């Protein structure tokens, strides 16, 4: 199955970002810490140009901390870029962001010359949650459904710090289908644009190779099967995903595995590491 998803409002969001960029001092690109490269929008990189950027590694509390440290080192090595792993719900972590932005925009941050920040990223990565946490109250729509924010919002979060929130933007063609599968497994793609059992098979194979101990612990397996389909069969038996005639309900089984992985109930998992792109 080829995964593609670029609703019409995302094209409008691209135009909004392009128009706003000349008035922006620092771009905060919110990435998913579990898949920083696959959740990094190349289209946003083109629009940003040489603007300083803070790469927020959101959902760091769900990612493998050792792998996140590797990604932080990679991003910090880029000129004009600083990486900040955090949970968008953690107020203490999020409130360090203005100071980080200030390092990239010297001379700004006053009432007369505020730091003008654009928050951008792919759908369902935590942009609105980040802004709400910074503000200390709900001012941006939040939900588990990708592409909830539909229009640009400009918010003065505190004296000297102004933020523009944008809808989540993917790019028109997902050429890297492995990356697209990672995005789907993380929850960044709408359910209607993906096939749950196929993505669960992808996730099962990945977890078998990288985190077999987490599969074994979560689903009480004495040993993790070699074939991804057998992994789903084992999960189905342990979670009661069996239909009449002893047939496995692969849709329900896929939902169990992906829900456990996305929520962190399976454990802290990173879907890619820098060496995967060498």
Is residue 120's pLDDT more than 50?
Answer: yes
CA distances from 133 to 90, 128, 137, 213 (A): 7, 9, 7, 34
- Could you report the per-residue pLDDT of 6-59, keeping only the tens digit for each? 555 566 777 778 888 898 999 999 999 999 999 988 888 888 889 999 999 999
Tell me the CATH number of domain 8-165, given options 3.40.50.300, 3.40.50.410, 3.40.50.2300, 3.30.2130.10. 3.40.50.300
Q: Where are the domains of the chain?
A: 8-165, 195-277
How does strand 153-158 pair with strand 26-32?
Answer: unpaired
Model pLDDT, residue 142: 45
CATH topology of domain 195-277: Conserved Hypothetical Protein Ylqf; Chain: A; domain 2 (1.10.1580)
| DSSP secondary structure string for all residues of 175-232 | --HHHHHHHHHHT-S-GGGS-HHHHHHHHHHHHHHH-HHHHHHHTT-SS--SSHHHHH
Model pLDDT, residue 138: 53
Model pLDDT, residue 146: 40
- Give the C-alpha separation, 82 to 217, whole Å: 36
- Could you report the per-residue pLDDT of 180-233, keeping only the tens digit for each? 899 999 998 888 778 999 999 999 999 999 999 999 999 999 999 999 999 999
- Could you report the per-residue pLDDT of 237-266, keeping only the tens digit for each? 999 999 988 999 999 999 999 999 999 999
Tell me which of 12 and 157 has the higher pLDDT.
12
Model pLDDT, residue 148: 39
């Amino acid at each position: 199955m080829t995964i593609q998803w670029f609703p019409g409002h995302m094209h409008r969001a691209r135009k909004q970002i392009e128009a706003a960029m000349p008035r922006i001092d620092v771009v905060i690109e919110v990435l998913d810490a579990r898949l920083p490269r696959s959740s990094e929008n190349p289209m946003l990189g083109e629009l940003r140009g040489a603007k300083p950027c803070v790469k927020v590694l959101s959902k760091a509390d769900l990612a493998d901390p050792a792998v996140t440290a590797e990604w932080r080192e990679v991003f910090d090595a880029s000129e004009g870029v600083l990486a900040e792993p955090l949970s968008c719900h953690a107020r203490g972590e999020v409130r360090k962001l203005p100071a980080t932005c200030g390092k990239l925009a010297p001379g700004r941050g006053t009432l007369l010359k505020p730091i003008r920040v654009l928050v951008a990223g792919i759908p369902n990565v935590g942009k609105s949650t980040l802004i709400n946490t910074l503000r200390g109250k709900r001012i941006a729509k939040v939900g588990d459904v990708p592409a909830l924010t539909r229009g640009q919002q400009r918010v003065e979060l505190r004296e000297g710090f102004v933020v523009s929130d944008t809808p989540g933007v993917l790019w028109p063609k997902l050429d890297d289908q492995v990356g697209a599968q990672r995005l789907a497994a993380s929850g960044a793609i709408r359910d209607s644009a993906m096939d749950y059992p196929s993505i669960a098979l992808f996730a099962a194979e990945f977890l078998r190779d990288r985190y077999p101990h987490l599969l074994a612990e979560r689903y009480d397996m004495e040993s993790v099967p070699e074939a991804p389909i057998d992994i789903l069969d084992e999960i189905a038996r342990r979670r009661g995903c069996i239909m009449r005639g002893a047939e496995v309900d692969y849709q329900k089984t896929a939902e169990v595995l992906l829900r456990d992985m996305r929520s962190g109930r399976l454990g802290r998992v990173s879907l890619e590491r820098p060496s995967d792109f060498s």
